[in-house]
Structure 1
């Protein structure tokens, strides 16, 4: 008999097949050694559209809302390029999966989708849509290395044990469908004039928009205030100079300039003495291991052109290639059961490093702590060392690897010196404070060559006399908070604004562990991307700014709960509680349905205001060049650059998702097609080889001798 394993993606199915040493491959699955391994492409099924339940919902009419189905049903997912049509690939793969599930020699089905809410429902919707009577099990893994796959297959769980995770996943999916379908439709009907993109309303979308709006408003309304500081330069008896800043009652910023001017006058012809000297040795621990939000924040703030969405995609690719553990995690520590595995990983990573002898494995509570792990441990490398990575993968992998190695390096140590200089004049109440710092032990900072700037103060003792060489009164202005970046926004979303200033605070850790957040690690990047796509926010350099449409939506849309961080945080926490069996899916959905019905009625009763006017523009069709086949004009279509004579049978086309160019990470552009049609050849820069290296080439698109189709030819410039 065979066990049927259903993976979330083809690459994961291949990892499982490799671990089981299965070579036999058929259309849509691997088979051998008592196993059949097939795959989905993420979600193969999606929830019914409103019109699938009731044909009157095909047109948006205010009186048809609120619309809440009696039961939720699934269908084959739609083709993203052809709205309303089934995705052909999804339909074909589903048929393969169902034929394998029905095979008489299959006695067990194992869902090997990702170990999270989405992974659970991807597998469950496929499996239970068939009403199978066969036993269903769950393979729960944090990485896809051969060792872990084999170990995991020995420890599979009955899928019935995963019911709380399934309830949370479906609760989230159904709730977002109900809120999205109802409020997007009603808001668009109420506040938008003209046909075009809908006004998107979502449970996670709106509070995220409000965070950016609030910061923009705070900056806009900020009134700068002037303040003053006084500094003095002192000289020791052996001629060494140092600078100090004037403090009174632990404050060095003064709103009243006259106060400091009086002190400055009192400094004339005065001497001073060292009132106190404090020397403290301080230890600096490395930053915690990465969770997804911290990894996204680190990469997007360090490298230009990166978004949190891109970081997640690259991390996902590294995970599927078996080089890192599961990336969609909220934890910054590891489970204690991973001690042995973590030691093996460290041994592999440290070989040949210039500071190898300083790397020592330890079972520290700062790294291994079950009480601070939520579902998945922090992101770390696996024991497999990559042989070749793309440049993007190299950036993300190196960050994860370095952060891991840092944990086992010596703690960095520095010495802080504080000198308090007092003026020998009783009219001057305050003191001048000088701060120095010297790095004593570089420790973990060696890993990323973190430079520490030393400020060296002269060697002095208490009661030493010093002279005043110079003094300076300076004017300053208070500055507003900075605009949100993806890094700061992710921090607020992760904790609903609790403890987000310090990523290592206990308060922040507790907020993350409680599940009290906006969205999940898996969805936050997608939310930021969607806000940009629907035109609610814009980017200026790394800053995220609310657009005029975004501002009008926040100021006009009457369902204020949807902008409220507390409200959204409670909903996300409730989903987390469903996973922990502290709350039921049914009660959660009843709350959502009730909230949606009330919100729809509230919008209906509001004043009619237009916050978005969509004007249809007629596009003039641009002829890019002559068709090499029939001489008619080549024009740009949705899916490719094709002949305008297609109705008469001319089939010349250059597809936008051309597979040959895709292997080199390129898509045909309008400029490229124009050049190709004019000169017969197009120089293309920045093609990517299989090893991830960039190169340039001249491309031709020529008709095959043996058939009617065209193929690419590549030439290299001399």
Structure 2
């Protein structure tokens, strides 16, 4: 008997159907010499620190770092029954071969190997590696099974990442949680992601909006009107030019025309699909992943968790057949099938073998045309995006003549640009998708007005008349409009996904930046979960499409060092994990490096901490009586108790009004120096953030705090 282990019940059901294992058992299918079961995602997980030693139940600085000598794993909560089924099947005497059919990637490999090892299985196993759930793809995959050992290094890289995340997450969460006396969830990917959002909000809060002026020369030549503009920064300059140029003719100083060819963008990987779905449909990254995964399991699209936007050379013929097939889909725009020139579609444009690793780009399957509008709304709209992306990515370029006109009025230069479309190409097919989505989603009036305004602007751009250098335009009307510079926009899931994907481009280390080109914060498969996690754990909140940081986000960003909250750590990890996968390094070397990093960072902070004989951290010296200050649940107090009475309350009204959490490092500085320099204080009266010095004043009965603004 051959035992097939899939990742999810739905995938197992499809494999069982294709391989003739039609009899349903308790947690598995059987038939035709096959047993097919599943893992329900992660069946096995790392244990928490208290499973290594009961003393770790309480978070104490003195116990850090926590580094397991031998790693322990356990069955995840709620899935013991399914694990028992898989264990029973693996141990059956008539099972002589196991087939790993979990998702074809690093995480899927880890899911299977952890179960295999937890069972203590030593039976020979092979690997099914497919990118589509179509019947033909499954059959072809089983006909070309690979030796499980070929993926040993992929598993080693995955396990190394799991263990390293545990070391960093457990130790740093406890370290900074103990320091702030609050539960803080620190993660290698989620903390830098939170930092991105905090930094963007700080840029918005500190943005100094300034006015500028757009001067518009409305020109008329032979009955045709067009606009040329000039930007100036000062109102006086704007008024001067208006007065100087009013009623004066314009002279054409140059007019250039150049043909422009715009190629369609590449196919979707998961991140670009999530970004576009957020922008066009308002879906979260997780909603998009869920919908695409469902479409994959329904055999309507290929494997979604991919980071490639290209196909391989051997897919040219099959992709052309898919194009022909989806053009027959009755749910496409009525114009699409009529206007699409299949003979002009270039399959070669979709191909780049060097940019395909584990999986190719997301495309519809040949079965996609059979889908209907009875699909759940999100799935149907995502399927439309994927189909139209294939149609446009292979299609004719969009071409136009770009016109640039320079005018001079009394020595002042004005500029006009426009375009004349000569070949609409892929943008015509793209417009069919836009119309379909508009029909499916009721637009609010503001969107309609914005769309109409944009169309009017584009229409005006296209009607610049043919003019010659030196030509005089007599009919000119001048006006000026004040505008203001705008702050950066808050992150949406679309723009945050882009920032996560391109985080490595901000690295200062040029060599490291080159080596990790293509890596980002998280992977296409995990970014949606990371965004959902930082929202669920209270670091970020959604307001419409915007993602905004909470006070908890500011706390963690201020608490952790730069290396933990930047992309550097992930960059170094991805570099080393890739080396493990390629056999250029070992998991042992990698984990030893992580252990050293964690130990040194924890040690550095502990050097600045002093403990009494009972292991309690001494925060500082009491300014009244000289005894030790300790941290309590609600306050920082003197060990002298009522006899001294010195207390700093964590929920002090002063800090609440400034929206500034009072942290342990701040209290230490107050006790040492009597003052701190604070950033990002909030003024409710002015509704803005600012920086200032805060002084601690002890009256002998109460502890007060006062602001001081340094002179510039």
Q: Give the structure 2 partner of residue 18 of structure 1.
A: 17
Q: Does 2:225 match 1:241? A: yes
| Cα shift at 1:145 | 0.8
CA shift digits 1:232-280 (9 cap, x unpaired):
12222x232221113xxxxxx3224444444333324533333322222
What runs of 5+ residues in structure 1 fail to find an aligned partner? 79-86, 247-252, 501-506, 616-718
Q: Give the structure 2 partner of residue 326 of structure 1.
A: 303
Find the partner of 2:261 among 269, 283, 298. Answer: 283
The separation in 1 between residues aligned to 2:382 and 2:551, in whole angstroms, is: 35
Q: Give the structure 2 partner of residue 382 of structure 1.
A: 365
Write the mapping of 1:121-520 to structure 2, written as runs, cut at 5 A. Answer: 121-192=110-181, 198-236=183-221, 238-246=222-230, 253-304=231-282, 306-351=283-328, 354-356=335-337, 357-360=340-343, 362-385=345-368, 386-387=371-372, 388-423=374-409, 425=410, 428=411, 430-449=412-431, 453-454=458-459, 455=461, 456-496=463-503, 498=505, 514-520=517-523
Cα distance, 1:22–1:513 mapped onto 2, change above 3 Å: farther
Preserved CA contact (<8 Å) 1:511 1:517: no
Preserved CA contact (<8 Å) 2:271 2:497: yes
CA shift digits 1:639-691 (9 cap, x unpaired):
xxxxxxxxxxxxxxxxxxxxxxxxxxxxxxxxxxxxxxxxxxxxxxxxxxxxx
Cα distance, 1:112–1:512 mapped onto 2, change above 3 Å: farther
Q: Does 2:580 match 1:578? A: yes
Aligned length: 579
CA shift digits 1:606-656 (9 cap, x unpaired):
5759999899xxxxxxxxxxxxxxxxxxxxxxxxxxxxxxxxxxxxxxxxx
SS of 1:229 mapped into structure 2: strand
The separation in 2 between residues aligned to 1:150 and 1:44, in whole angstroms, is: 27
SS of 2:268 mapped into structure 1: coil
Cα distance, 1:269–1:324 mapped onto 2, change above 3 Å: closer
The separation in 1 between residues aligned to 2:633 and 2:129, in whole angstroms, is: 49
Cα distance, 1:497–1:69 mapped onto 2, change above 3 Å: closer
Bigger proportion of residues as helix: 2
Cα distance, 1:319–1:361 mapped onto 2, change above 3 Å: farther
| Cα shift at 1:210 | 0.9
The separation in 2 between residues aligned to 1:379 and 1:167, in whole angstroms, is: 27
Cα distance, 1:319–1:548 mapped onto 2, change above 3 Å: same
Preserved CA contact (<8 Å) 1:167 1:579: yes
SS of 1:517 mapped into structure 2: coil
Preserved CA contact (<8 Å) 1:485 1:543: yes
TM-score normalised to the size of structure 2?
0.77
Cα distance, 1:499–1:301 mapped onto 2, change above 3 Å: farther
Find the partner of 2:557 among 524, 542, 554. Answer: 554
Find the partner of 1:593 among 578, 592, 595. Answer: 595
What runs of 5+ residues in structure 2 fail to find an aligned partner? 435-450, 610-618, 621-629, 636-712
List 4+ stretches of structure 1 deviating above 6 A. 510-513, 609-615
The separation in 1 between residues aligned to 2:278 and 2:396, in whole angstroms, is: 28
The separation in 1 between residues aligned to 2:353 and 2:318, in whole angstroms, is: 16
Preserved CA contact (<8 Å) 1:515 1:572: no
| Cα shift at 1:599 | 2.5
The separation in 2 between residues aligned to 1:420 and 1:264, in whole angstroms, is: 18
SS of 1:355 mapped into structure 2: helix
The separation in 1 between residues aligned to 2:568 and 2:93, in whole angstroms, is: 52
The separation in 2 between residues aligned to 1:361 and 1:53, in whole angstroms, is: 64
Q: RMSD in angstroms over aligned alpha carbons?
A: 2.7
Cα distance, 1:259–1:61 mapped onto 2, change above 3 Å: closer
Q: Give the structure 2 partner of residue 690 of structure 1.
A: none
| Cα shift at 1:108 | 1.1
| Cα shift at 1:29 | 1.5
Preserved CA contact (<8 Å) 2:96 2:123: yes
Find the partner of 2:524 among 517, 521, 528. Answer: 521
Preserved CA contact (<8 Å) 2:345 2:396: no
The separation in 2 between residues aligned to 1:419 and 1:463, in whole angstroms, is: 12
Preserved CA contact (<8 Å) 2:396 2:426: yes
Cα distance, 1:365–1:418 mapped onto 2, change above 3 Å: same
SS of 1:134 mapped into structure 2: coil
Q: Does 2:547 match 1:544? A: yes
| Cα shift at 1:439 | 2.9
SS of 1:132 mapped into structure 2: coil
Preserved CA contact (<8 Å) 1:418 1:434: yes
| Cα shift at 1:360 | 3.7
The separation in 2 between residues aligned to 1:279 and 1:499, in whole angstroms, is: 37
The separation in 1 between residues aligned to 2:55 and 2:579, in whole angstroms, is: 37
Q: Does 2:101 match 1:102? A: no
Cα distance, 1:118–1:484 mapped onto 2, change above 3 Å: same
| Cα shift at 1:153 | 0.7
The separation in 2 between residues aligned to 1:614 and 1:560, in whole angstroms, is: 29
SS of 2:474 mapped into structure 1: strand
Cα distance, 1:328–1:471 mapped onto 2, change above 3 Å: same
The separation in 2 between residues aligned to 1:132 and 1:374, in whole angstroms, is: 30
